Amino acid sequence: MLETGEILQLQALADTVIPADNWPGAVEAGVCSFILNLLEHEENWRVSAYRNGLLALDRLAHSVNSSPFHTLTLQQKTQLLEMVETRSAEAQRAGVDLDWLRVVFRHCAEGYYADSGNGGNIDNKSWEMVGFKVTI
Amino acid sequence: MSDYDAIVVGTGAGGGISACVLAESGFSVLLVERGELLSYGDVGRDHLRNQRLSVYGHNAGPGPGNPRTTRNSQGELLTFMPWQGGYHANAACVGSGTRVYGAQAWRFVPEDFRMASIYGVPQGSSLADWPIEYLDLEPYYTQAEWEVGVCGDEYANAHGASRSKGYPMPPMRQTVQYSTLKSGADKLGWNTAPVPLLINSKEYGGRAACAECQHCVGFACPVDAKNGSANTVIPRALATGKCELRCATLAKRLVCDENGQVIGVELATETNGEITTQVVYGRKIIVSCGAIESARLLLNSRSARNPAGVGNHHDLVGRNLQGHYYPGAMGVMPYDVYDGIGPGVVISTSRFNHGNKGIIGGGMIANEFIMTPITFWHRALPPHIPRWGQANKDWMRENYRRTIHITGPVQEIPSRDARVTVNPNVCDKYGVPVAHLSGSTHEETVRTSAFMWERCVEWLKASGAVTVWGEAPSGAWLSGGQHQAGTCRMGNSPSQSVTDRWGRVHDQANLYILDSSLHVTNGGYNPVLTIMALAFRGAEKVVSELNGH
Ligand SMILES: Cc1cc2nc3c(=O)[nH]c(=O)nc-3n(C[C@H](O)[C@H](O)[C@H](O)COP(=O)(O)OP(=O)(O)OC[C@H]3O[C@@H](n4cnc5c(N)ncnc54)[C@H](O)[C@@H]3O)c2cc1C
């Protein structure tokens, strides 16, 4: 499974994918527990993709911002993800896999918007945010 | 030496009714189901594992150990788990799809039974007329509506077809989406109708009225107001004391006598991981496994007299697999159109089911069921909205309640090459060769779908949508899935069809198929009420034969 340092990176990434505003960001909503749970029980085969992806993202952070990914501001992290999405030369050199990143986007959304029984969406905050109310 | 008067395989839409009609007529019935009896809690409310969004699994079966295969365009063999798209699952539990369905309860219209006569047969398609007409089925539609329980508006839903009786329950409550879309349709001059549903809009059949929850399609009902086989006809069958229900039991193959006539079924039952097999004999055998699995069972039942499988002397079993293309468009309205009143699907138009210039057939379109937020994220985001970041979160927050989704099933133009065979090299957990799927729909289906997609867009715009998106269908692929049908089509000619006009396999005295496999064409409507009507009609015929008529 992912180690403490990697989890720190994952949290930084998740909070870039779903940033906090008046409503919880990904980490506060439990998205990382959702992802760790998924990697442990459902998609064990993706652990190495996560590990490599987080490492590559950190390489990109060092080459662009000369700092580890998890210490960057939201704006800096957002810029890095945009570089990956537009397949910039630096992102390619750092070896960040866009397909993996798209899976992370999906996993974050699943952790944020699915039922809390899946380990994320703590207190159903995202449902309150969008206006999905369970009446029975 | 029969153990039972009848053995019914499968407890879904067709099987449940068949067992009920036979047992209530005093005959002994063995009702076999490979899945389990699922409680409300068993089905649960997992937003990532349900029969509507099955990212990591689903909630009404089949489970692991039941793969299917196909080949991709490069010819590589692909194996699918039951919750993956290429599998074309419906469900596997007592009630099958009817345990968790959306319960739209449409009658096909008279034209749907005469597609070839009306439109001609497009080159390369296997389009054909049914051997029966709407009026042959009408009394049984009525029976299904009253005995299983449908709510709706018989005047709005007439579509030029005659009805012997109205619905037993009024339609569901009108919602904000209803009035929004009604005003759009009025501007366009389109007639609309409330969507008929196999749901109690008031107390009915000794069960409660719908609680208007937000988890209808893909889930079980919290107040048991959704009417399916598991809470209507199967309890009735069991109450007679004449029907024995055996779950977690697979029919491996049909057993024949020396003349190749089916007289029994070999069953495999799983108890605590142990598999035991047994052959049971019946005077009548009814196969109701759903279009893909019924074909598989017949094809897996080879013998000296039936070298290509039962009922397959003309290489027809498994062919003409069809479902529905489902074109759809989404639009954002200038105000909230979400009021949380489930099931959500409430207004439809049947204006485009037929009579579209230059187009073969058409389909009904309606607004969509309430989507859970994660289903909405997966299915409803416009292409220009990023899948991450503040923009994504803002969009979800601002538009979940403002989006209307219009969609509907398009009448498919069948193709002989869209088919089920069995893969002798890949077996399920019982050691039985699995279904292999191949081929694709006919090009005309794609053209009709593109036409219907434009109607979805038109309706949204006329209703005031600020932005509209969604992809027009392009490309022919295999459709089957939850609306799978057609693999053992009925007909008058034994060389052109698998069963007769009642569902009896042509060269078999006692073997009936009563499920979606019989559909010659699948209508421009959700199929279940037609499956139910055919089962009431076919089972009545089986009863008269058992009575010696
Ligand atoms: C989420 C969802 C929503 C739907 N919504 C609608 C809707 O709104 N309107 C509509 O018209 N339709 C809807 N459907 C489709 C509808 O449920 C199907 O059309 C219908 O159930 C098909 O009936 P059938 O009798 O052909 O087969 P099924 O209902 O699939 O029954 C077949 C049964 O046979 C069992 N079986 C198969 N092989 C074997 C074997 N060898 N031995 C023992 N048992 C076997 C299966 O496990 C299954 O339980 C929906 C389906 C789903 C899943």
Q: If you take atom 23 of ligand 1, which residue's CA is the nearest one?
A: B13
Q: Which of B340, B376, B378 sits opposite A135 (nearest CB)?
A: B340
Whole-number Å distance, alpha carbon B54 to ligand 1 midpoint, is 16
- Provide the pLDDT for residue A1: 87
Contacts of A105 in chain B (CB under 8 A): 387-388
What integer pLDDT is reported at residue B273 of this predicted model?
A: 86
Take residue A61 and report the two structure tokens written for it.
Answer: 């952070």
Residue range B446-454: mean pLDDT, rounded: 98
Q: Do A136 and B213 touch (CB under 8 A)?
A: yes
Place of tokens 């419906």: B90
Q: Is the pLDDT of residue B269 over 80?
A: yes
Nearest CA-CA distance, residue B400 and chain A, Å: 6
Q: Which residues, other chains included, contact A44 with Cβ-Cβ below 8 Å and sequence gap of 6+?
A: none
| Pairing of the two strands B68-71 and B433-438 | parallel
* Alpha-carbon span B322 to B89, nearest angstrom: 13
What is the C-alpha to C-alpha distance for residues B250 and A24, in angstroms, rounded to an integer? 48
- Structurally, how many domains does chain B consist of? 1
Q: In this predicted model, what pLDDT tens digit does every residue of B157-184 receive, in sequence order?
A: 777 789 999 999 999 999 999 999 999 9
- Smallest Cα distance from B222 to chain A, Å: 7
Residue of B nearest to A16 (CA): B389
Q: What is the pLDDT of residue A78?
A: 98
- Does A134 sit within 8 Å of B213, measured CB to CB? yes
What is the rounded average pLDDT of the residues B31-48? 98
Centre of ligand 1 to C-alpha B345, Å, is 20
Query: Which residues in chain A are closer than 8 Å to B56, comparing Cβ atoms?
Result: 38, 42-43
Alpha-carbon span B287 to B274, nearest angstrom: 25
Residue-level pLDDT at B161: 81
Q: What is the mean pLDDT of residues B412-426?
A: 98
User: Which chain A residues are closer than 8 Å to B55 by Cβ?
Assistant: 110
Residue type, A30: G
Q: What are phi and psi of B404, to 5 degrees?
A: -115, 140
Q: Which one, of B246, B262, B271, lies nearest residue B19 by Cα? A: B246
Distance from CA of B548 to the nearest CA of A (A): 51
Distances (CA, A) of B262 to A109, B2, B210, B305, B311: 52, 12, 43, 11, 10
Taking the centre of ligand 1 as the mean of its atom positions, its distance from the CA of residue B68, in whole angstroms, is 17
CA B281, distance to chain mean position in Å, is 29
Residues near B259 by beta carbon (within 8 Å), at least 6 away in sequence: B305
Per-residue pLDDT reduced to its tens digit, B286-327: 999 999 999 999 999 999 999 999 999 999 999 999 999 999
Contact flag A135-B214 (C-beta cutoff 8 Å): yes
| CB-based contact A133 B214, cutoff 8 Å | yes
Q: Which one of B9, B17, B20, B96 would you pick to mutate in the ligand 1 pocket, going by the greatest count of ligand atoms within 8 A of its CB? A: B96
Asked whether the beta carbons of residue A105 and residue B387 sit closer than 8 angstroms, the reply is: yes
Q: Are B1 and B84 in contact (CB under 8 A)?
A: no
What are the residue ranges spanned by the domains of chain A? Answer: 4-129
Q: B435 - beta bridge partners?
A: B422
For residue B535, give the ligand 1 atom closest to its CA: 25
Kindly tell me the number of DSSP H helices and DSSP E strands found in chain B: 11, 17
Model confidence band, residue B87 (pLDDT cutoffs 50, 70, 90): very high
| Beta-strand relationship, B29-32 and B4-9 | parallel
Pocket probe for ligand 1: among B482, B499, B513, B516, the residue whose CB has the most ligand atoms within 8 Å is: B482
The tens digit of pLDDT for each residue in B356-399 reads 999 999 999 999 999 999 999 999 999 999 999 999 999 999 99
Q: Testing the interface with B: which of A82, A115, A125 to mutate, by most B Cβ within 10 A?
A: A115
Residues A90-125: pLDDT tens digits?
999 999 999 999 999 999 999 999 999 999 999 999
B214 and A18 within 8 Å at the Cβ level: the answer is no
CATH of the domain at B313: 3.50.50.60
Helix orientation angle between A47-65 and A74-85, rounded to the nearest 10 degrees: 110
Mean pLDDT value of segment B411-433: 98
Which numbered atom of ligand 1 lies nearest the CA of B95?
49
d(CA B480, CA B294): 14
Size of interface A-B (CB pairs under 8 A): 92
Residues with Cβ < 8 Å from B464, sequence gap 6 or more? B180, B183, B184, B333, B334
Tens digits of residue pLDDT in B100-155:
999 999 999 999 999 999 999 999 999 999 999 999 999 999 999 999 999 999 98
Nearest atom in ligand 1 to B51's CA = 1
Domain that holds residue B156: 4-546
Q: Which chain A positions have a beta carbon within 8 Å of B46's beta carbon?
A: 114-115, 117-118
Cis amide linkage into residue B334, ω under 30° from 0: no
Of the candidates B503, B202, B519, B176, the residue with the CA atom closest to the CA atom of residue B367:
B176
- The secondary structure element, H or E, covering residue B70 is strand B68-71
> What ipTM goes with this model?
0.99
> Looking at residue B363, what DSSP letter applies?
B
How many angstroms away from the CA of A98 is the closest CA of chain B? 13
Q: Please check the confidence at residue B1 and state whether its pLDDT lies above 80.
A: no
Which residue among B336, B377, B389 sits closest to A113, beta carbon to beta carbon? B377
For residue B155, the model assigns a pLDDT of: 86
- Contact criterion met (CB < 8 Å) for B389 and A135: no
Distance between CA atoms of B308 and B426, rounded to whole angstroms?
Answer: 18
In this structure, the residues whose C-beta lies within 6 A of any atom of ligand 1 are B 9-15, 32-35, 51-52, 90-92, 96-98, 100-104, 217-218, 250-251, 288-290, 293, 297, 482-483, 515-516, 526-528, 531
The residues that bridge with A89 in the sheet, in sequence order, are none
**Mutational test site, ligand 1, from B34, B90, B522, max ligand atoms within 8 Å of CB:** B90
Q: Do B211 and A133 touch (CB under 8 A)?
A: no
Mean pLDDT of chain B: 97
Token pair recorded at residue B345:
């699907």
Q: Do A19 and B45 touch (CB under 8 A)?
A: no
Q: Write the DSSP assignment of B214-276 as a string of letters.
A: S--TTS--TTS-B--GGGTHHHHHHHTT-EEEE-SEEEEEEEE-TTS-EEEEEEEEEETTEEE
Residues A42-89 have pLDDT tens digits of: 999 999 999 999 999 999 999 999 999 999 999 999 999 999 999 999
Report the SS3 class of residue B204.
strand
Within 8 A of A117 by CB-CB distance, chain B residues are 44-46
Q: What is the pLDDT of residue B450?
A: 98
Residues in B whose CB is inside 8 Å of some CB of A read 44-48, 55-56, 211-215, 222-223, 336, 338, 340, 372-374, 376-378, 387-390, 392-393, 396-397, 400-401
What rounded mean pLDDT belongs to chain A?
Answer: 98
Q: Which chain A residue lies closest to B53 (C-alpha atoms)?
A: A114
Residue B483 · residue B526 · CB < 8 Å? yes
Distance B230 CA to ligand 1 centre (A): 12
Question: What gap in Å lies between CA B523 and CA B107, rounded to an integer?
Answer: 9
pLDDT for the residue numbered B157: 76
Sequence-separated (6 or more) residues with CB below 8 Å from residue B242: B23, B26, B27, B28, B29
Residue B549's pLDDT is what? 84
